[in-house]
Structure 1
Amino acid sequence: MEQSGGIQASLSGRYASALFQLARDENQLSAVEASLGSVKQALAESADLRALASSPLIGREAAGKAIAAVAASLGVDPLTTKFLGVLAENRRLGSLDAIIRDFRQLAARQRGEASAEIVSAHPLDDGQVASLKTRLKSMVGSEVAVDLKVDPSILGGLIVRLGSRQIDGSIRTKLNTLAQAMKG
């Protein structure tokens, strides 16, 4: 399988690539991707889980037990549960968000899709996401898997990262540009 040097070169990319190859070899790609989606959502919603992932004060054994309990409560598949245990053992739970992002990029590439990260000030509804996917598909020429993030600091609008391109239509950037123009 061909992978970009960018994903393989990063720490998160190496972990994501290893999980991807294992999941592909065991025909578990969709189960692992769904489990990682559940973990990503739990990370976004739970301050305790974010603290577990990022705290250097929690030992390897305690982190392993805690992440196993979280995985069980989320209904995570066995392969992903073992992978989370490896991350806890190696003290890499802090990289979990980036690993999930890189895994999703690899999975999208495997399906022949492009992947895009969309940052909005407020959560997007299903109609807005479908409209964005259609628009991006017309730009790229293939299906687009989207990774949605909410960042209230952009005030409004969207920031879309598609491969090496970034389209920044955020109000924050427009205000900063206007402020710079007024100074100069």
Structure 2
Amino acid sequence: MAELITLARPYAKAVFDAAQDQKAVDLYDQALAFAATVAADKEVKNILANPGLSEQRKAELFADCFEEPLPEALRNFLLILAENKRLGLLPAVSELFRLHRAELERTVNLKVSTAFELTAEQQQKLIDAMSKKLERKVELETSVDQSLIGGVMVRTGDLVIDASVRGKLARLARAMGS
């Protein structure tokens, strides 16, 4: 996976710069997310591996999947990916594009797991606290994981905050074992 991200990084940066220049970051984000979903499909992967199709034809097939006509720069981007046999990188490109966008907009998406459903008030308190700590606008994705016993686990990128009872018990067990 790390290799795919490394290969996708220059493409993601280039398409993000183009989207910014055209003031169409949202449009590009949506288009890349859709293209990533298409590229991840098993049947599409088989088509991309077909040596009988030209790279230009593969790019055209991708462009034809969209309901609305794509901006010329995005169409050209797909063609460049195809010519370099990199259409399979679209999921990673889309992921990196979203990271560039989040950095531009100073937002962060937190994945929050709790043992019990959070109330709207609890969610807002968490948003306020994390916004202050991270100095960014925070969006929450919540899920319930009863194995946490109590407390909360917060994940974003490489940051993990484990304030769960399960995590505290595990730390206590490690401390007692050493």
TM-score range for the pair, normalised by the shorter chain length = 0.5 to 0.7
**In terms of Rg, which structure is larger?**
2
1:76 shift after superposition? 6.0
Q: Which residue of 2 aligns with 1:34?
A: 30
Aligned mates of 1:18, 1:117 — CA distance in 2: 26
**Structure 1 segments unaligned to the other structure (5+ residues):** 1-8, 121-126
Query: How many residues of Structure 1 are paired with residues of Structure 2 in the alignment?
Result: 159
Residue of 56, 64, 86 corresponding to 2:80:
86
Compared with structure 1, are the counterparts of its residues 23 and 54 closer, same or farther at alpha carbon in structure 2 (3 Å cutoff)?
Answer: same
Aligned mates of 2:13, 2:25 — CA distance in 1: 12
**Structure 2 segments unaligned to the other structure (5+ residues):** 114-119
Cα RMSD for the two superposed structures: 4.6
Residue of 34, 37, 42 corresponding to 1:51:
42
TM-score (norm 1): 0.58
5 Å-filtered alignment, 1:1-184, equals: 10-40=6-36, 43=37, 50-51=41-42, 54-55=45-46, 57-59=49-51, 60-61=54-55, 62-70=57-65, 72-73=66-67, 75=68, 77-78=70-71, 79-111=73-105, 113-116=106-109, 118=111, 133-134=127-128, 136-144=130-138, 160-162=155-157, 164-167=158-161
Q: Which residue of 1 aligns with 2:116?
A: none
Aligned mates of 2:139, 2:153 — CA distance in 1: 16
Compared with structure 1, are the counterparts of its residues 16 and 139 closer, same or farther at alpha carbon in structure 2 (3 Å cutoff)?
Answer: same
Compared with structure 1, are the counterparts of its residues 32 and 96 closer, same or farther at alpha carbon in structure 2 (3 Å cutoff)?
Answer: same
Compared with structure 1, are the counterparts of its residues 53 and 118 closer, same or farther at alpha carbon in structure 2 (3 Å cutoff)?
Answer: farther
1:35/1:76 contact within 8 Å kept:
no
SS at match of 1:10: helix
Instruction: State the identity %.
Output: 23
Compared with structure 1, are the counterparts of its residues 52 and 28 closer, same or farther at alpha carbon in structure 2 (3 Å cutoff)?
Answer: farther
Relative contact order higher in (CA < 8 Å, ≥ 6 apart)? 2
